[in-house]
Each structure stands twice: as C-alpha cells, then as structure tokens.
Structure 1
Amino acid sequence: MRPIKTLLFILSVFALLAGSMLITPGEGVKIGEFTFHMPTFSEMLMLDDVEYADVSGIINQQFEIDSLVDFSLDTIAGDTVLEVIHRADYDSLIQSVLHIEMNDSGRQNLAKFFFHLKNDSLTRIMHYGDSQIEGDRITSFVRNKLQMRFGGTGVGLRPALQPYDYVFSAVQENTGDWKRYPIYGKVDSMVEHSNYGVMGAFSRYAPLASDTLPFTDSVLYEAEMYVAKSNISYKKTREYENMRLFYGHSKRPVAIQVIARGDTVLEDTLLPDLDYGVVECELPDSTSSVSVRFKGYDSPDIYGIELASDKGVIVDNIALRGSSGTIFTRADYLHSLKMYNDLHPSLFILQFGGNVIPYITDNKAIERYGRWFASQINRIKQLCPEAAILVIGPSDMSTKEKDKFVTYQHLPKVVETLKKVTLASGCGYWDMYQAMGGYNSMPSWVNAQPELARPDYVHFSPKGARLVANMFYNALILEYNNYLEADREEKAEEKKQNTEASSKESSPLKKGDS
C-alpha cells in the first residue's frame, strides 16, 4: 500500500472515531443491559480526571470521646490544673465532631432518651438499618461503648433464623427445616396476615398452613435454635442474663425446652391460636450460650429471641438487607404495638436510604421516597410516643462511569431530602455521607491503607465500620454531655432562686416596713 493511502486510511479511522465521539451521548447508549460508551475529547486529552475527596483529615482527627474527662466547672470552683487541661482538650477535640442536626423539637425529642439513659435502670435502643449494619457492624461498637459506660450485657433482640453468613457478636445454629419470612422484598404469598413482629420478619420450622383449610396433626416436628457467644465479640455481649421468646400464630401447642450451662432452665408450652405471646426465663450466672428446643405438630411464627440483661443498656441490631426502611407501615399496627409495649424502646436509630440510590431516576422519585420515609417516622411515633428517633442517612456510594468510580448522581439529593423530612418530623439527623467526606469520598475509603470500605464501593470494611460507629457515638455522647451540662445549670439556677426566695421570706422586717 502506498504511503498516501496508508495516511488516508489512518485519517479516515480518526475521522470515524471523532464522529462517533461527537454523536455518542456522555451517558452512553444503552443496549439491553449493556451501556456503550465512547471517550470524550477531554478524556482523550487527559483533561477529565475525576477528583476524589481527601479524607485523611477526617481519619486523623478521630478520637474516643469517653477517653476525655468532661468537666463543666472552672478553676474558680476548685478544678486542678490537670482537670483544666482535660477540659481544654475536650473543647478542642469536639470541634471535629460532626453534630447531630436537629431543631428545637428534635432536641426535646432526643432529651427524652437522655432522661431515660440518665435515670432508668434499663434503656433500650433499636437500631434498624439496611445491609450497611448487617452482621452487627456499626451497632456492635455503639452497643459496647454504651454498655461500658452505662452498664448492660447481651446482644439484645435476634431473629430465630439468622439470614446472614457472618454475625460479629454471636454464633447461631438451627436444627430443622427453618425458613424466614420477611415483610419486604419478595413476600411469600402463603402468608395470609401482616403479623411480622418488630424485626420485619418471622421464622418457623414447619410449613405455613392456610387459615381457611382444616389443619391435621400429620407430622410431629422437632427443631432447635442455638445461640452462643462469639470469641471475637466484645466481652459485654457474651453474657446473657435473661431470655425472652416472642411468638404467635401456632395452630397446635408446642413444647419448649430452654437449656443453659448444660441444665434445663425452662420447660413450657407455647399456646396455640395466639396472634402474639411471650415466654421468658432468667438464666444462670455467666451464661454464654442458650439452646431452645421445640416439639409439636406445628411451628409458631417466631418474631425474635432476646438475650440481654435486666439493667443497663440493650441495643438491638435489626439489619434488613435490601430494605428501604418502609417496613413499619406494612406491619399490622396492633400486633406491632403489643411487641413494642413489651420491649419498651427509648430510642430508634433508622439507617436507611442506600438501597434506593441505584434505582432513583429523577426528583419525583426522590420526593416520593421522602414522603414514604416520613410516614415511617410518623408510624413509629404513633407506636412509641415516648421514644426518640435518630436517622442516619446513607453513606457515599460509587457507581462506575467508564473507568472511574463516582458518587451516584442523585445521592446528594436523597441525603438532603431525608434530612429535610427528618427535621420536619421533629427528629435528629446524623449525616453519614458528610461525615465520611461527602462527594466522591467512597473511593478514598476503598483505597485507604488499611482499607476502610469494600471494593463494591458501597459497604464499609470492619475497620471502616468501627470508624463510622465511633464518629456517630461521639456525636451522640456529645449531645448527652450537653444535656447533662444544661441539666446541671438548670438545677443550679433553680437552687439559687429557691435560696433567694427562702432568704426573703425568712429576713426580719426593717424599720418602716409594713
């Protein structure tokens, strides 16, 4: 081939590529499930480099708020030099804490929880979330910190059948043909009611039977559920003082046997034809494993098992993989009310939003999700009017565009919408997206050494989960410390006014007084 023809061929190829680059949209052309992209001219010239957030400052500024001494006095009141230094450290370090956002109504709402935390012998926190908290990630750290400071043991409420392969705080095994029935996702059409319990799912070891057909005692079922400490868990979670089993909807009586430390500590019968029932017992000292055995011609719907103490703090990890957090209005109100009344939660932590991000296509969808989420908050307030509610928004999440990982287009708007409806509902909002660095921060967490997030650019690594949990805990305890200081100041002012009033009443009349 002559040189001129070779040159013309090369130029024609370049012209064809340039034309394709001009007519191909920046977002690509979708062909079935495949999206065809062409590089832009700026990308060809290396002018379109994605900038990732610098999170080194966020990581380096982390500290444990409980390691600081919280003093509300000054040297005039007799503080030592060491105490003044601690106070200065505290005032300096808390400037790096990302605060919980709330209005006056939200502050009063959270103060209800702090009152219970300060004054009650037992305080329960229910942490609901999507896959970001499954395996007891994030929750376990917060639980341990609270139990170390305020007392309490155990893992709290757990599903009868663990749906996840790995759970940090306990080991769980089941014998028998167990199946879990969630209220979200692909709901089993055989479930003829909406009594799912407060964990959004129930489990059973016998097949579902229709309420409209006669039931026959054809098969005697035996099953077992075993929960034990995990040797890698926090020490406080390895101690079980009390057991409660929440159940219902069995068509026949079921014998139950609870075994702890090798001894039978309870033999009882789960009653049939109840929509909701509870069986409970105290456990021997130093119990770290519990076996529950069932025998009968049917299985109850088991809404959960609680292994906890009767004092201090209980923190439940309720992970709902794939859920957008809209389970509360789907469940039967009166049935949920019965279980919440037994559990008596003082604080709800709702950590959702991540599962809708990949499917949001426009602002209308974001607004619709905001309305749905607001309705969930309102339902919880109806069920538990004395409980406070905190919302943790979604983290940064990356999607791959060509050869770069970037924040999902609509994620910032979803964060702002969740924050807006949360504050309007009189609740507190902690912005996890902002806490980890905001736009395009997830790749920096993935590429940190050691890694703080997984290569799926969605979920935190164990170390990253602990870091985020510590950031949230610092924000929560900072507000608690502020609450204590305001409470002390209020009582001091009240005492001063009472003293002045008493002094005026007891002072003798001066000459000329009448």
Structure 2
Amino acid sequence: MKNKLHYTFFLAFLVTFGLIVLHYLPEIKFGGKSLRKVDLLSDIRSEVSDSDTISVDTLPPLPVVKPAFVDSCKAGIECIEDYSDSTSHGMSHFYQSLASVKELKRPVRIAYFGDSFIEGDILTADLRNMLQKEFGGSGVGYVPVTSKFPGFRPTVRHSFAGWTSHNVTDTIGFIRNRQDISNNYFNASQGAYISLEGTGKYASNLESCTSSSLYYLTSDSLHVTAQLNGAAGQDFRLKGDSTLQCVTVKGNIKSVKWNIRNASSDAIFYAATMDSDHGIILDNFSTRGSSGQQLSGIPGSILRKYNRLRKYDLIVIQYGLNVVFEGGIDYTYYKDGMKSVISHLKNCFPETSILIVSIGDRETKDENGNLRTMPAVKGLIRSQRMLAAETGVAFWNMFNAMGGDGSMSEMVNAKPAMANYDYTHINFRGGKHIASLLFDALMYGKEQYEKRKAYEAE
C-alpha cells in the first residue's frame, strides 16, 4: 500500500498559513459589531498594557483624595482635648469668636466657674489680663453685690452697705429659685448701695471701663441712681418684670456707685459690672466649698435670660478640691452627677463652648511623713476626662500642665512661693503661672482651629 502520511503535514501547513493570513485581514463588521480578530498566537503572546494601546489623555482623571487635617500638640503645651459632638459645645465657637472679635458688636465673654482655687480672682485675674492684652477689652466684669472678703480681691475696689446676702452655701434660708448665675441673691434695705472702683494695682486694663450694669429681678417698679466718677447721679425709674433685667450706664468709667432709692420688699439684686463694649470680658464665679453640682440648681429661666442679656462664648468649669479625698479611686458617682450640670448648661447656653478644667496637684503625707501627690487626684482626673468625653465638651488637664506628680510641692518651695503650705491652694503668683499655661493652650488651640478651617477651605 502507498504511504500518504505526508498529506497530513501538508494539510496542517495550509491551515496554519490560512490562519496567519486571516490575522492580517482588515476589521470585518457584521450586524454593526466587529468580528473578533483571528490571532493564532493569542495564547502565548505577551499581554499588551493599556498604556501601550490607549492614550492617557482619553482616560478619566483619578480622584484626588485629600487627607484629613491632623491636629498636633506642640512640645511644652498641655493641649486642650476637644470631645465635641453634633451639639457643638467644644471649643470651635469660642475660637471663632476670638477670630472675629474686632467685627463683633459686643465683647467676647467668658464665665469661669470654680471653687476656692480661684477665689478672690486668683488665676482668673491673670487669664483675663492676658486675653485683654491680646484681644482688647477692659474691666473686671461681673461682681456680686456683696462679698465676705471684699478686700481680698485686688482687681476691683468693692464697697457696699444695706444688703441682706444669700448664698447657696447657706445652711438655712436660701431659696434656690431666686439665685443668679453666681449662686447668690441679695435684698436691699433703705439706702443700700454697691460701689465699684477700677484699680491699676493688678493690671492697667482694670483702671477704667466703658459700661456698667446693675442686674436685678423685681415684679414692681424700681428707682435707682448711678453715680459715675463721683458726679451727680443718673436717675432710673424702672418698670417691673417677671424675668431678669439689667440697667446700663456708659462713659469713661473709673468708678460707679449704684444707689437703691426705692424698691419693693420682694426685689432681688444680683451684681454690678465693670465692662467694655469690645474685646474680652471674663467673669469670676467662685464658690468656696463647692463641688460644682450646685450649678444644676440655678433656674433655667434665669440662665437663659443671661444668655440673652450677657451672652457667654466660653464657660469654664473647674472643680475638684472639695470632691477628692484620701483613698478615693472611683469617682463615677461624681461624673454622673456632673452630667446633669453639663446638660443644664448646654440647654441654657446652646451655642456656648464648654471647657472642663481638671483638678491640679494636691499633696498629702504618706505613712512615713513624706509629701506625695494624693493618689485619689488621678482617679478624679480620669472621671473628669470621661465626663468631657461623654458629654461632648472640651477638657484641659491642669495637673499635667502644672508638671504632674510633686508639682504642688515645687510651687510651695519656689522663691518666692507660688502656693500655700496646705499643698492644695495656689496664691496669686501661682495663679499667674497657671493662667499663662492655660492661655498658651487656648492660643494654640485657636491657631490649630484656624489652620484646620483654612485647610478645609482649600
């Protein structure tokens, strides 16, 4: 038989040659669709990258992902921790107010609440002075009608007569729904007066002011006069109202004396002020022996009226000396109690920034008689930070800013001393030191806020 095996190889050659020729044929369309190109070597041919076959200019641009702004904390500063939530009670409102202080038609106001640590304007006097030097403003702010220690406060000359005083710390006779923002109220007898005089003893921006107001609550008519700089009194005959009111005088005020000429027996008086019409006003609200929980007892109607008559941009809450105790570790009960205080303030001041300042260092002696930081201090600070986080406000760790463990001893032993020998309270020199630390934290926080706003606007 004749061998025909070579025909198989010849047929394979023809098929291969035909497929190669088909590869070079022009594009063929059928029914509007292009037929797939014959490519005998497609299984072994290397992949052709898109960049070799498609023009880069024809591709859509990749989306630019902008990284989030990252806040930093500069070395040497104990930064403010902001836990603000959707209710915006962190520091943003205050920083924005500082940034626009020259455009505002009112001063930027701070309400600084605390215990005996800030009594007599300790710490707050220097913080006020630093802020007023930076942003303008003058005057000592809100001064309750009477004081148990009027000569202790070096930032204003304060005199008064003819008053019956009521304070939240009174054991009997205090009616809670009559109190003002400073936890006080006062009744006037015939000839009662309150006198405030500026002084340059502590800071030059306290020598004079441009505005003074008298805050009161009465349902009946009221007759008062205001004497500016010892001149003849300006006469005010005022109508009664069911809510908080104030009467204001303006001028170049170095001293002001408010005289109560005629008032009903149920008239309640609260404070007189020395303010400016621009810049910074810082009001000191110190209550000796307080834990801060008394603030929830101030009537909401009173606080909401303050928000209209005397709008605050920042509320500072600094307590702890009367809460911490030897052996205390868990202060959850205190944190939970203060939640109602923060909620009350947020409801009454819906746009105001709120800053919780922790307790500072406090020292006691151990069993060997050696001074050391009371261990309970750190437990309280932990609860104060948790309070800020759980209520969506800001927090500043004063203990760390002071230097942490043993810092109160260092302040007591400084030359000259910056704290008292109870290893608990600072003096005015210590107040100036801590005020500078808080001022730096506020200014750095404002700087970071403005950088973040500019970055987000790009």
* TM norm. shorter chain > 0.5: yes
2:97 corresponds to which residue? 116
1:195 aligns with 2:164: no
Q: In the alignment, which residue of structure 1 is the partner of 2:372?
A: 406
- What amino acid maps onto 1:172 in structure 2? H
1:268 aligns with 2:236: yes
Give the deviation of 1:306 after TM superposition.
Answer: 1.9
Summarize deviations over 1:172-203 as a string: whole Å, max 9, x none: 01122x232122x23432x4451211111112
Residues of 1 paired with 2:395 and 2:279: CA distance? 25
Write the mapping of 1:389-404 to structure 2, written as runs, cut at 5 A. Answer: 389-401=354-366, 403-404=369-370
How many residue pairs are counted as aligned between the two chains? Answer: 379
Is the 2:82–2:91 contact (alpha carbons within 8 Å) kept by the matching residues of 1? no
> 2 CA distance for matches of 1:341 and 1:253?
22
| Higher radius of gyration, 1 or 2 | 2
Which residue does 2:203 correspond to in 1? 234
Letter in 2 for 1:278: C
Select which of 413, 428, 432 maps to 1:462: 428
Match 2:288 to one of 310, 321, 324: 321
**Could you tell me which of 153, 167, 174 is aligned with 1:167?**
153
Q: Report which of the two has the higher share of helix.
A: 1
Q: Is the 8 A contact 2:123 2:430 kept in 1?
A: no
**What residue is the counterpart of 1:158 in the other structure?**
143
Tell me the residue number matched to 2:411: 445
Contact 2:111 2:284 in 1 (8 A): yes
Deviation at 1:234, TM superposition (A): 1.0
Matched, 1:355 2:322: yes
Q: Are residues 1:144 and 2:129 paired?
A: yes
- Which stretch of structure 1 is more off in the superposition, 336-345 or 413-422? 336-345
**Do the aligned residues in 2 keep the contact of 1:195 with 1:336 (CA within 8 Å)?**
no
Question: Relative to structure 2, which stretch is displaced further, 399-408 or 227-236?
Answer: 399-408
163-172 or 126-135, larger mean C-alpha shift: 163-172
Task: Report the counterpart of residue 125 of structure 1 in structure 2.
Answer: 110
Unaligned runs of 5+ in 1: 1-91, 207-220, 494-514
Match of 1:204 in 2: 187
CA distance in 1, matches of 2:453, 2:158: 43
Listed one character per residue, the Cα deviations across residues 95-131 of structure 1 (whole Å, up to 9, x for unaligned) are 1111112246499721121112212422111111111
One-letter identity of the residue aligned with 2:413: N
Contact kept in structure 2, 1:374 and 1:422, CA below 8 Å? no
Corresponding residue for residue 247 of structure 2: 279
Q: Structure 2: how far apart are the matches of 1:315 and 1:104?
A: 23
- Cα 1:361–1:272 change in 2 (3 A) is farther
Question: What SS does the aligned partner of 2:419 have?
Answer: coil
Structure 2 gaps, min length 5: 1-71
Q: RMSD in angstroms over aligned alpha carbons?
A: 2.3
SS in 2 for 1:263: coil
Change (3 A) 1:371 1:108: closer
Where does 1:241-320 land on structure 2 (aligned, <5 Å)? 241-249=210-218, 253-264=221-232, 266-272=234-240, 274-282=242-250, 284-285=251-252, 287-296=253-262, 298=264, 300-320=267-287
- Counterpart CA distance in 1 for 2:172 and 2:239 is 25
Q: How far is the alpha carbon of 1:93 from its aligned partner?
A: 11
Aligned counterparts of 2:73 and 2:393: Cα–Cα separation in 1:
26
Aligned counterpart in structure 2 of residue 97 of structure 1, from 52, 65, 77: 77
- Contact 2:200-2:206 at 8 Å conserved across structures: no
For 1:272-324, what per-residue CA distance to the aligned partner results, in whole angstroms no more than 9, with x for missing partners?
Answer: 56442221121x22x21111111236453212222101111111111111111
Alpha-carbon distance between aligned partners in 1 of 2:109 and 2:181, rounded to the nearest angstrom: 14
**SS of residue paired to 1:390:** strand
Identity across the alignment (%): 25
Instruction: Tell whether the 8 Å contact from 2:176 to 2:297 is kept in structure 1 after alignment.
Output: no
User: Match for residue 500 of structure 1?
Assistant: none
Q: CA deviation at 1:481?
A: 1.0
Equivalent position SS for 2:452? helix
1:408–1:249: structure 2 CA closer, same or farther, 3 Å change rule? farther
C-alpha deviation, 1:362, in angstroms = 4.3
